[in-house]
């Protein structure tokens, strides 16, 4: 198939330019289109419309309510509602074909808890339940009864979310949001923002890699792992960098009976079913910032760390064969593992939507809606995302999220 000819922006000026057209940028574009209607003057600049290396495409595509902060629980609850109603929301934009079904697999999450971590885990479970989540704490005996294939000898229990947790089609979500936004008048172009023109405390224009200069009223930074690169163009700095995550799909000679949840081991290794296969990954031992274009694999991670952890926790995983693997990037907020949302006082028309530390996909429906509310209404109208404000970054005041995988 021939490469499509580059199409430049249709206008020289837009009210809003969104830098990054993956799931957070496209969610923002979708919600802006719903709020502004025909008044929308929005350009989305995406450096790679194939999304081959985007965090969205390389995500493990899961959603949970087991967080340590109430706002993150609320965000995921809206995400679940959005996923479950996605086909209905998208139906107007698919007039001649079925709207996409995101294939939500409501298998739940199971966090393995050490004996030393039981008290804190019980507190988190009570917090989540007080907000309407369905998490329960299971003692080791009950855990073994529920999941007989699980080794519980070194566990103090498990936190199990049996409902409204699971995994879904990440690219289905992105493609639906993008299609709805474009059908509603939002313009997308294949290009990269390489600079910004400033006047005082405002961005006046973005500069594209092809040489065009596009005037703008507001810039939204939805650049994922490249968030700091874009922030630097406006003279700003945030502690967000790409952190590599390795994912492996494997076959097991011994099947796991029943409805297996996404199991989070004490080691940080996770594993869940993927059809007749299984998907696993962990936090690398040498975790730290990576180059933007470094997607190199580390197959030793599976052999040396992941497989031993899997075999210990699930003894049936004694004979495994890797069938597929890939490397993706978290847009990791090194301050507190939480998102950054809002306008910084230093640059009054530059909007952050960054730093979600592996939660961006599941948080994108609520974050995109919140960003649109700030831009159009001047304040949050639904969920109050104020805890994610930028001001905590230069003040070095972490808003910690403990439940990061």
As a whole number of angstroms, the longest Cα–Cα distance in the chain is 66
pLDDT computed for residue 405 by the predictor: 67
Length of the chain: 405
* 248-263 pLDDT tens trace: 999 999 999 999 999 9
The C-alpha atoms of residue 21 and residue 221 are separated, in whole angstroms, by 10
- Which phi and psi (to 5°) does residue 281 adopt? -175, 180
Residue 157: pLDDT over 70: yes
How is the chain split among helix, strand and coil, in percent rounded to 5? 30, 25, 40
pLDDT computed for residue 332 by the predictor: 96
What is the band of 6 on the pLDDT scale with cuts at 50, 70, 90? confident
Structure tokens at 362: 């599941």
The C-alpha atoms of residue 37 and residue 186 are separated, in whole angstroms, by 10
The C-alpha atoms of residue 35 and residue 238 are separated, in whole angstroms, by 29
* 347-394 pLDDT tens trace: 999 999 999 999 999 999 999 999 999 999 999 999 999 999 999 999
The C-alpha atoms of residue 369 and residue 353 are separated, in whole angstroms, by 11
pLDDT computed for residue 270 by the predictor: 97
Domains and CATH numbers, the chain: 1-105+164-239+335-405 (3.50.50.60), 109-163+244-333 (3.30.9.10)
What is the band of 1 on the pLDDT scale with cuts at 50, 70, 90? very low
Structure tokens at 67: 């967080």
pLDDT computed for residue 105 by the predictor: 96
User: CB within 8 A of 323, min separation 6: which ones?
Assistant: 249, 250, 251, 277
Neighbours of 163 (CB within 10 A): 12
* 79-107 pLDDT tens trace: 999 999 999 999 999 999 998 899 999 99
What is the band of 4 on the pLDDT scale with cuts at 50, 70, 90? low
* 318-335 pLDDT tens trace: 999 999 999 999 999 999
pTM for this prediction: 0.96
């Amino acid at each position: 198939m021939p490469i499509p000819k580059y199409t430049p922006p249709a206008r020289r000026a837009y009210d809003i330019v969104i830098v990054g057209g993956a799931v957070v940028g496209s969610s923002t574009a979708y919600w802006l289109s719903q709020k502004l209607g025909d008044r929308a003057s929005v350009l989305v600049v995406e450096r790679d419309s194939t999304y081959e290396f985007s965090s969205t495409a390389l995500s493990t595509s899961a959603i949970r309510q087991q967080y340590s902060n109430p706002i993150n629980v609320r965000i995921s609850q809206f995400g679940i509602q959005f996923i479950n109603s996605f086909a209905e929301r998208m139906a107007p934009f698919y007039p001649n074909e079925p709207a996409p079904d995101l294939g939500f697999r409501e298998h739940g999450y199971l966090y393995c808890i050490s004996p030393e971590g039981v008290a804190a885990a019980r507190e988190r479970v009570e917090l989540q339940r007080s907000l309407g989540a369905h998490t329960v704490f299971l003692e080791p005996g009950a855990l073994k009864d529920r999941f007989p294939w699980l080794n519980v000898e070194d566990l103090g229990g498990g936190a199990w979310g049996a409902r409204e947790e699971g995994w879904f089609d990440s690219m289905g979500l992105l493609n639906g949001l993008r299609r709805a936004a474009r059908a509603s008048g939002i313009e997308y172009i294949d290009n990269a923002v390489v600079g910004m023109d400033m006047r005082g405390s405002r961005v006046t224009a973005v500069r594209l890699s092809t040489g065009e200069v596009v005037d703008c009223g507001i810039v939204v930074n939805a650049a994922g792992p490249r968030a700091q690169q874009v922030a630097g163009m406006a003279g700003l700095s945030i502690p967000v960098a790409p952190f590599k995550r390795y994912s492996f799909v494997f076959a097991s000679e011994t099947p796991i009976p029943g409805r297996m949840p996404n199991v989070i081991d004490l080691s940080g290794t996770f594993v869940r079913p993927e059809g007749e296969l299984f998907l696993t990954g962990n936090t690398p031992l040498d975790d730290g910032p990576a180059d933007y274009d470094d997607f190199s694999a580390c197959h030793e991670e599976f052999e040396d760390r992941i497989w031993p952890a899997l075999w210990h926790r699930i003894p049936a995983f004694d004979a495994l064969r890797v069938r597929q693997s890939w490397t993706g990037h978290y847009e990791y907020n090194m301050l507190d593992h939480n998102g950054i949302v809002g306008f910084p006082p230093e640059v009054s028309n530059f909007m952050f939507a960054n730093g979600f530390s592996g939660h961006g996909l599941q948080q994108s429906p609520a974050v995109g809606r919140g960003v649109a509310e700030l831009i159009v209404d001047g304040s949050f109208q639904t969920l109050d995302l104020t805890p994610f404000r930028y001001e905590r970054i230069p003040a070095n005041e972490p808003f910690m999220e403990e439940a990061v995988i």
